[in-house]
Structure 1
Amino acid sequence: MSAISEQSVRVSQGSAEELAVIDKVSRRLVWFLVVLFFISYLDRINISFAALSMNKDLGLTATMFGFATSIFYVAYLCAEIPSNMLMPYFGARIWIPRIMITWGLASVATLFATGPNSLYVLRVIVGLAEAGFVPGILLYITYWFPATHRARATSFFIMAQPITIMIGSTISGLILEMHGFFGLKGWQWLFLLEGLPAIVLGVVAYFYLDDNPTKAKWLTPREKEVLAEAIARDDLVAPKNKSEGSRFGMVSEFFSAPVLLLSFTYVGLVVSLVTNSSWVPQIVRAVHPNADFLIIGVIGAIPALAAVLVMPQWGKHSDNTNERKWHVALPMIVAAAGWMMVAWLESPVAKLVGLILCAVGTFSAQGIFWTLPPLFLSPKARPIGIAMISTIGLLGTSIGPITVGWLKDYTGTFGAGLSFVAGCVIAGALAVIIMQSHTSSPERRS
C-alpha cells in the first residue's frame, strides 16, 4: 500500500476524533491569529489613509510617498528570513509578541515625522520591527494543523487582510476627522491610535500562545497524541529525500523549479496587494475629489467587503475539488482585468467594479496560495523556505508603490501605473499555471 493510500485509511479511521481535536484547536487559535493579523495589516495600510493629509503637511510628492511605502518593505524584506529562522529558536510564545510590541512602538513613533527624510527613517524601523510576522504565523499554523485541514485555517488567517481594509477604511476615515484634537493632526492620531493595540496584543499573546501542541495545557494527552499523529502524516507525503542528507539537499529544495515559480507568482500577488493597500484611497479621491475622509473610507471598504464574502466560498471549492493551481491563477487573472478597468475606464461605477474585481481576485488567490509551499518543502526546510518565498515576493512591494507613484507623477494619471500592476499579476498567474503538479499532494478529505 502506498504512503498516500495509508494516509487515506488513517484519515478515514480517525476522522471523527481528529476533527474534534482540530475543531478545538481552531476555536482556540484561528480567531486570535486573525485578530493579530488585523492589527498588523492595519498598521501596514494606515499610511495610505494618512497620505490623504500627511502628504501635504510633509511636502510629499506621489513619488516620495511611493518611496516611503517601498522602503518599509525593503527593510521588511531584509529581516524576513532571519526573523523566521529565529522563531523556532526562541519559540512562538516569545517571538510573535516581540514582533508585535516592537512594531507597535515603531508605528506610534511615526507620528513624529516632520518631513520626507524622517518619514523614510521611521518606515524603515517599522519594517524591521514587523519583519517575519506573516511567514512566522504561516509556519506556526503548520505546527497545529495537518495538511488536510490547513487550507481553511490559512484562508481564514489571510481573510484578515480584506477585513482590515473593510473595517480599517472606515475607522481610519473617522480618525482623520480628529484633526486638531489636543493639538495633533489627523494623520498623527491615526498612527497613535492604530499602533497602540499592537503593543497591548503583544503582551496578551505572550500569555495566550503556546510554542507548539506539546506545551498546550488546554489539550489533553490524548488530544495531543491525535494531533501529533495527524501532523505526522504530512511527513509521509512531504519531500524528504532532498533535505535529510545534507544542507546541500535542503538548499536544492529552496531552488527547485516549483518553489522558484511560487516565489515569482507571489511577486505578482504582492504587487497587486500593496497597490490595493497603498493607493486605493488616493484612487478613490481622484474619482471623487470633493468627498470627505469618511466617504472615501466607506467607498474603499466596498471592494474589501466583496472579497470577504467570496474568499470562504472559493477556499471551500478548492478543498472540495482538491485543486490549488487554478484556484490561484484564475483569481489573479480576474484581478488583472480589474486593474485595467480602474486604469482606463472613465465611469466611476466601472472603476468601482474594477476595484471590486481587484480585491476579490487578489485576496482569493492569496488565500489558496499559501497552501502550496508546504507541498514542495520538507518539514525541516519550511521555516526558511516559506520565508524565502515571502521575501522574494516582497520584491513586489519594493517595485510596486514607487513605480505607480513615479508613473502617476510623470503622466498625471494612474493609468500607466495600474497597467504595470496588471502586467505583474498576469506574469504571476502564468508562473503558477506552468508549475508542475506535485505528485504527493494531500488527499482530499472524505
Structure 2
Amino acid sequence: MGPHTAVSNVPDAPNTDRSLFRKVTLRLLPLLGLLYVIAYVDRSNLGFAKLTLQDELGMSATAFTLGQVFFFVAYALLEVPSNLALHRFGADRWIARIMLTWGLITMATALVSQPWHFYLARFLLGAAEAGFFPGVIYYLTRWYPAARREAAVGLFMLAGPVSFIIGNPAMGALSDLHGVWGLEGWQWIFLCTGIPAVLTTPLVLWLLPSSPEQARWLTTGEKERIHTLLAAEESRTGQQPHNPLRALADPRVLALAAFFLCFPLATYGLSFWLPTIIDGFGGLSGTAIGLISATPYLCVMAGLLLVPRLAARGGRPLDWIAGMLALAALGFAITVASEPAWMQMFGLCLASVGGFAAQPIMWGLVPRFLSGAAAAAGIGAINGIGNLGGGFGPMGIAALVDLTGSTHAGLVFLILVSLLGLAGTFGLRTLLRTRSRSSENSDPTPTATPDSGNAEFPPPEKQKHSGPT
C-alpha cells in the first residue's frame, strides 16, 4: 500500500489527518490572516479619522456616523452576488479583485472635502469590500471538515484583534501628523491604510489556491483525503437547492442573519467609539489613545484561541454563544457603572471577548445544513444582513451621544443589544432542532448519532483532535 492510498482510504486516520490539516493551516491561514488584518485596519480607521475629520467637514456625530451606514448598505447589497462570484471565478482571482479595489478607494478617501464626497467614498468602499469575510468563511468550508472548522475560523478571526493591536497605535500616531507634507492626520490615515491592500493583491494571485485540487503543495492522496472527508459531510446536509439563491428563503438562514445582527451592532459599535471613549479619560494624545485602545484586543486573542476549540468538543454551540453574549452584556454594564478608567477598560475587555469569541462558533452552524453554491449564498446573506448592524450600531450610539452628551447612553444601548442576542439563542435553538428533525424524517440517510442528545445539530464525526492543526 503506497503512501497516497493510506492517506485517502483509511476512514479514521487521526495522526495523518492532524499532519494534513497542520499543513493546510500553515499554508492558508497566515495569508488569509494578513488580509483580514488589512481589512480590519481599514474598517477601524474611521474611528481615528473621526477625531479631526468630523469637525473639518462640519458634521455632527450622527451625520458623520451615517458614513458607516452607507458603507454597510452597499456591503450588504453585494454580499451574496460577491460570494457567488467567488464560487464561480475562484477565491484567488475574486479576493485579489476585492483587495485591489478597496485599497484604491481607501486611498482616494484622503481627497474628500465635502460631506457628500465622504458618503460616496464610504458607499464605494462597502461595494468594493463586499464578499471578503463571507468569501473566506465559505472558502474555509472547502478545506476543513466540521470538527476542525470552528477552530480554523477562530484562528482566521484572530487577525481582527491583531489588527487593532498593531493598527490602533499606528493610526493614533498617524493622526498626530498634522501638517506633515501639507497633509492632515486623517489624510495620512486613509493613505497608509489603503496601500497595504493594493500591495497584497499579487500575493493573493500567487499564493492562494482556489481549491484543494489546485494546491501544488498537496499530494494526490492528501487532496483525496480532504475530498473524502468533505464529501461525507455534504452527504449529511441533505439535498441542496438547484438554484443557490433558494437558500436565502431557508428559515435557518433568515434566522441566523437576524441573530447575527447583534454581533456587528456590538463589536463595530464598540470599535468605532472606543477611541472616543478613551479620549474621554482626558489628557491623552492620539498615540496614547491608540496604545490604550489595543488593550481589549489582547484579551480577544486569548478568547478566539480558546473558546472555539472548547465549543467544538462539546457539541452544544448555542450554549457557548449564549455564554459569550452574557459576558458581553456584563462587560458593557461594568463599563457604564464604573468611574475609574481601569475598571472601564476591564469591562471593555470582557465585552470585547464576548462579542468576538462567539462568532467562529456561529459560522460553524451554516455548513451543517448547506453546502456548495447554496452555502456561498447563505453565508453571504447572513453576513450581509447581519453587517447592517455594523452601520446602525455606531449610528445608534452617535444619536444617543448627540442626545445625551455622554457615551454611557451608547454603552447602555450595547448592553441591550447583547441581551437581545442572548434571548435570541433560545428561539434559534428551537428552530434548528425542529428543522434538523424534519430533515431526518424526510431523508433516509441517518444524520444523528446515539450521543447527539438534544444538541442543536447532530455532532460531526468524532475525531481525536478538534482544532485545525
Contact 2:69/2:391 (<8 A) preserved: yes
Please, which of 279, 295, 302 is the counterpart of residue 285 of structure 1?
279
Given residue 159 of structure 2, which amino acid in structure 1 is its aligned partner?
A: A
Contact 2:38/2:196 (<8 A) preserved: yes
Shift of 1:378: 3.4
Please, which of 327, 351, 364 is the counterpart of residue 334 of structure 1?
327
**What does 1:68-87 correspond to in 2, within 5 Å?**
68-87=67-86
When the two structures are superposed, what TM-score results if normalisation uses the length of structure 2?
A: 0.88
Please, which of 390, 397, 401 is the counterpart of residue 390 of structure 2?
397
1:128 aligns with 2:127: yes
Given residue 285 of structure 2, which amino acid in structure 1 is its aligned partner?
A: D
Report the counterpart of residue 4 of structure 1 in structure 2.
none
Partners in 2 of 1:127 and 1:254 — Cα distance? 21
Consecutive unaligned residues of structure 1, counting only runs of 5 or more, are 1-9
**What does 1:141-180 correspond to in 2, within 5 Å?**
141-180=140-179
Shift of 1:415: 2.2
Size of the alignment, in residue pairs? 431
Runs of 4+ in 1 over 4 A off after TM superposition: none
Please, which of 437, 455, 458 is the counterpart of residue 440 of structure 1?
458
Shift of 1:350: 2.2
**Secondary structure at the counterpart of residue 78 of structure 1:** helix
**Secondary structure at the counterpart of residue 372 of structure 2:** coil
- CA deviation vs aligned residue, 1:334-372 (integer Å, no higher than 9, x gap): 112222333343332221111111111111111322111
**Secondary structure at the counterpart of residue 294 of structure 2:** helix
Mean CA deviation greater in 381-390 or 363-372: 363-372
Given residue 233 of structure 1, which amino acid in structure 2 is its aligned partner?
A: A
1:210 aligns with 2:209: yes
Contact 1:176/1:187 (<8 A) preserved: yes
Report the counterpart of residue 183 of structure 1 in structure 2.
182
Partners in 2 of 1:11 and 1:426 — Cα distance? 46
Partners in 1 of 2:282 and 2:59 — Cα distance? 18
Report the counterpart of residue 439 of structure 2 in structure 1.
none
Contact 1:66/1:404 (<8 A) preserved: no
Contact 1:319/1:444 (<8 A) preserved: no
Partners in 2 of 1:313 and 1:398 — Cα distance? 29
Contact 2:84/2:373 (<8 A) preserved: no
1:99 aligns with 2:98: yes
Report the counterpart of residue 254 of structure 2 in structure 1.
260
Contact 2:104/2:195 (<8 A) preserved: yes
**What does 1:3-402 correspond to in 2, within 5 Å?**
13-238=12-237, 240-241=238-239, 243-244=240-241, 246-247=242-243, 251=246, 253-286=247-280, 288-402=281-395
Consecutive unaligned residues of structure 2, counting only runs of 5 or more, are 1-8, 434-454, 465-469
Partners in 1 of 2:31 and 2:12 — Cα distance? 31
Partners in 2 of 1:28 and 1:165 — Cα distance? 24
Contact 1:302/1:356 (<8 A) preserved: yes
CA RMSD of aligned residues (A): 1.8
Contact 1:98/1:202 (<8 A) preserved: yes
Partners in 2 of 1:136 and 1:129 — Cα distance? 13
**Secondary structure at the counterpart of residue 363 of structure 1:** helix
Given residue 282 of structure 1, which amino acid in structure 2 is its aligned partner?
A: T
% same residue: 33
Partners in 1 of 2:422 and 2:251 — Cα distance? 15
- CA deviation vs aligned residue, 1:197-240 (integer Å, no higher than 9, x gap): 000111210111111011111111111111111221211322x1
When the two structures are superposed, what TM-score results if normalisation uses the length of structure 1?
A: 0.92
**Secondary structure at the counterpart of residue 400 of structure 2:** helix
